Amino acid sequence: MKDVQGEQLIRPAYKLPGGIQPELFTERRFQGAECELVLQLPVLTPKLMNEIAHTLRERRKQYLFRLSTGQIVAKLDQAVQKWLDPDYELRRLAEAWLPVITGYDREMIRLELKRLMRTFRKKELLRFLDEEFDNPAVLDEFRPRKNGGLSRAYGPELLFHVFSGNVPGLPVWSLVSGFLLKAANLGKTSSSEPLMPVLFAESLAEVDPELADCMAIVPWKGGTIEIEDTVMEAADGIVIYGGEEPVRQLRQRVSGAKRFVTYGHKVSFAMIGREALTADRYRETARRVAEDASVYDQQGCLSPHSILVEEAGAVTPRQFGQLLAAEMQNYQEKKPRAALSDEESMAIQAVRSRYEMQSLGSDEVAVYTSKQGTDWTVIYHDKTGFEPSPLNRTVHVFRCDTLEEGAASISPFSDYLQTAAVAVGPERLLTLSDELGRLGVTRICAVGRMPRTPAGWHHDGRFNLLDFVRWVDIEASVEQAAEQFDPDVE
């Protein structure tokens, strides 16, 4: 299904278990610098999806479930090692076409994709497992419990993933988690990024075709009820990345007995203490904040919407806003933002216009904008506060006397908070972190690290694997009683 014909590169935008072949296809075309990419998409029916789901469950029973966790980790690591080679064919394909498909800067995708794949190396996967299980061997066999008896953890037989397309490579995280649970994986790709999950599946097939046959990656239009109901009926667990409305629509059609985990819309922010605004540090701090706000054009939930800047540094919060604007421009010149839709551009223009009007009659607001268009926007507020952003490299900078005082302004958004980047000294890190935790923040990281999570982080404050695990306990009483039936024991 992949071939070069003239000036066309023809590739599948799906991965199915061996032996299953769709009858009809549609196409999506993307024009690159040297040729046209033609992605072939299968025409799906409830009957075909039922066959796919049934086959995945059987392949999982015959092969994946029999592998040890250590063997699965080793095979995933082999696939990931391929992606760390700059000359690897599929990596070069991703680096060439993901910028065309998504509109993101080519160099940004190259760097961020490599950083992402490094989190799935063997040592990181082992850390991931150790974060969630006292002994990961419980995924392979019954293991002794401290208080007597034995326990084993069973993952779902079939895990259904609904991917988002705002951050290329994010589906790999979800698929890897499924394999660590010994679950067959059925992933629905996003129309805005249908390629990367398929490429990862192909690399896994190069390492172990039988393991790759425990995975299916297919595209369809969200809201296709007959297809979705067929898959959700067959799956034991469902994990969805997306907005509130699509999640709500799917949830109401799912049996309450199924494990249903969602990762919806969240907002993140940064807090810059006076310790990070000394004469030798403030420029680097501004550079790191600009990078956090620019990677993948602020589309991920990990990107900052607002920046709270403390007084009493070598530069004032207003001056920091000006420095941040300069660093946003520097980043734009190195890694330009993707082209926007008319609706996205209008949303930024509306925010700019509102605050530019306020700035005419008051010095409490200042608006700093890109040299051209809506490439980036920094809005300075001479007060403590917090405001969500229309994204696409638009950030608010708020002045506060102390970060502890500024934290209170975040409380109205507690249901939607995720990451806080904090730049303070060690003597107040824990106190401030405790306050943020009570407000609803689930991840606290260094400035400059917001888009890059470590292996085993608690996504939205939850475990990644344990939410799907079913535990089986052999109590000490039955273990002791079994000894009585040993014919060699009198």
Q: Is the pLDDT of residue 1 over 50?
A: no
Q: Can you tell me the distance from the alpha carbon of 40 to that of 155, in angstroms, rounded to the nearest whole number?
A: 32
Is 17 a domain residue?
no
Residues 183 and 331 in one domain: no
The answer to whether position 21 is within a domain reads: no
Asked if 305 contacts 268 with a C-beta cutoff of 8 angstroms, the reply is: yes
Main-chain phi, psi angles of 3, to 5 degrees: -160, 155
222 and 298 both lie in a single domain:
no
Q: Does 279 lie in the same domain as 209?
A: no
Sheet with 25-31: strands ordered across: 3-5, 8-12, 36-42, 25-31
Provide the domain limits for residue 402.
Answer: 267-453
Looking at the structure, tell me whether residues 328 and 235 fall in a common domain. no
Q: Which helix (H) or strand (E) holds 309?
A: strand 304-310
* Domain membership flag for residue 219: yes
Predicted local confidence at residue 107, as pLDDT: 97
The secondary structure of the chain in percent helix, strand, coil, rounded to multiples of 5, reads 45, 20, 35
Please give the tally of structural domains in the chain.
2
Pair (118, 230) in one structural domain: yes
Tell whether 447 is covered by a domain: yes
- Structure pTM? 0.94
Whether residues 407 and 330 share a domain: the answer is yes
pLDDT in tens, 137-162: 999 999 999 889 999 999 999 999 99
- The residue-averaged pLDDT of 256-274 equals 92
Interatomic CA distance for residues 68 and 140, integer angstroms:
6
Check if the beta carbon of residue 302 is closer than 8 Å to that of residue 451: yes
Q: Is 374 contained in some domain?
A: yes
- Claim to verify: residue 170 and residue 261 sit in the same structural domain: yes
Q: Label residue 409 by pLDDT band (50, 70, 90).
A: very high
Average pLDDT over residues 273-291: 98
382 and 252 inside one domain = no
Identify the pLDDT of residue 255.
78
Give pLDDT tens digits for 185-213.
Answer: 999 999 999 999 999 999 999 999 999 99
Q: What is the CATH number of the domain that holds 436?
A: 3.40.309.10
Q: Answer yes or no: do 254 and 293 share one domain.
A: no
The verdict on 209 and 288 lying in the same domain is no
- My answer on whether 395 and 293 are in the same domain is yes
Residue 473 lies in a domain: no
The DSSP secondary-structure symbol of 336 reads P
Same domain, 244 and 385: no
Average pLDDT of the segment spanning 289-295? 98
